[in-house]
């Protein structure tokens, strides 16, 4: 199974997680200079022994044009070759307002570029002619409805939580500014059947999805979740 995982710049992943994952996304948190993401992505590639890092770039998190260009140049020189472009959790940016602007600014650097997609507010049929005509692929935001996710076909990596508690899910969502999207997800009542006293049942959820690549949002118990998914069949 093709499984990617996610980490904040300061999180440390086990060697097992790095070796098992097809790629590792490094998040660009609010009020965080892109240099922090750059350093973490380079360190991750060093740990992996290959170019597994996907550096997130939040358009509205950027404070200057030089912050974007200097760090992108440094990443390419160090072998980081994949980025995921998002708008960012703030409502107003100082330099860039949309990830499309960032894409235009860095398109000559030779990154494989990915975007975020929102299954509960966007339609796959439309994204084929908008986002997916500009990006190599997309990672979905949290959505607890397999029926909704399964409408998204080629180029879509399904974002799902690790086998965590709801408390852990909420804490991480708050840290990363995902609460608005999480509210959509929790409001989708079909997701309740995947939650128990042991936490979110990632394996059960994934079994109800079509055979697309999976992206694990790391809300805790990452290694445990990876092991369960490896042997789910």
Q: Which residue has the higher pLDDT, 183 or 34?
A: 34
Kindly give, in sequence order, each residue whose CB lies less than 8 Å from that of residue 42, ignoring residues fewer than 6 positions away.
53, 75, 78, 79, 80
- Return d(Cα 55, Cα 84) in angstroms, integer: 6
Q: Which two tokens stand for residue 35?
A: 């240099």
**How many structural domains are present in the chain?**
1
Which CATH number covers residue 73?
3.20.20.220
pLDDT of residue 223 exceeding 80: yes
Kindly give, in sequence order, each residue whose CB lies less than 8 Å from that of residue 72, ignoring residues fewer than 6 positions away.
57, 83, 106, 109, 111
Residue 214, helix vs strand vs coil: strand
The whole-number average pLDDT for the span 132-144 is 90
User: Which residue range forms the structural domain that includes residue 166?
Assistant: 3-230
pLDDT of residue 38: 98
Residue 137, helix vs strand vs coil: strand
- pLDDT tens for residues 43-75? 999 999 999 999 999 999 999 999 999 999 999
Is the distance from CB of 119 to CB of 152 less than 8 angstroms?
Answer: yes
φ, ψ at 23 (rounded to 5°): -160, 160
Q: What is the CA radius of gyration of the chain?
A: 17
* Residues across the chain: 233
Percent of the chain at pLDDT exceeding 70: 88
- pLDDT tens for residues 147-201? 999 999 889 999 999 988 777 766 665 655 555 555 554 545 456 688 777 778 8
Is the distance from CB of 52 to CB of 112 less than 8 angstroms?
Answer: no
- pLDDT tens for residues 206-217? 999 999 999 999
Q: Which residue has the higher pLDDT, 144 or 101?
A: 101
pTM of the model: 0.88
- Return d(Cα 169, Cα 153) in angstroms, integer: 26
- Return d(Cα 168, Cα 3) in angstroms, integer: 21
pLDDT of residue 195: 78
The whole-number average pLDDT for the span 31-46 is 97
């Amino acid at each position: 199974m093709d499984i990617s995982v996610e980490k904040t710049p300061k999180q440390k992943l086990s060697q097992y997680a790095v070796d098992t994952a097809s790629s590792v996304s490094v998040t660009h948190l609010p009020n965080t200079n892109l240099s922090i993401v750059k350093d973490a992505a380079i360190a991750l590639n060093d740990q992996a022994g290959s170019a597994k890092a996907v550096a997130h770039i939040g358009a509205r998190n950027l404070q200057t044009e030089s912050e974007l260009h200097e760090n992108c140049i440094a990443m390419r020189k160090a072998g980081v070759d994949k980025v995921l472009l998002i708008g960012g959790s703030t409502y107003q940016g100082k330099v860039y307002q949309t990830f499309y602007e960032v894409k235009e600014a860095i398109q000559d650097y030779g990154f494989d570029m990915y975007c975020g997609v929102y299954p509960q507010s966007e339609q796959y049929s439309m994204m084929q002619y908008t986002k997916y005509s500009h990006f190599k692929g997309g990672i979905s935001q949290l959505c607890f409805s397999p029926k909704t996710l399964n409408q998204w076909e080629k180029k879509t990596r399904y974002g799902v939580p690790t086998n965590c508690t709801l408390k852990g899910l909420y804490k991480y969502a708050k840290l990363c500014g995902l609460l608005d999207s999480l509210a959509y997800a929790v409001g989708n009542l079909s997701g309740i059947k995947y939650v128990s006293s042991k936490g979110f049942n990632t394996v059960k959820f994934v079994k109800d999805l079509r055979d697309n690549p999976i992206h694990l949002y790391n809300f805790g118990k990452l290694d445990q979740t990876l092991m369960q998914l490896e042997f789910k069949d």
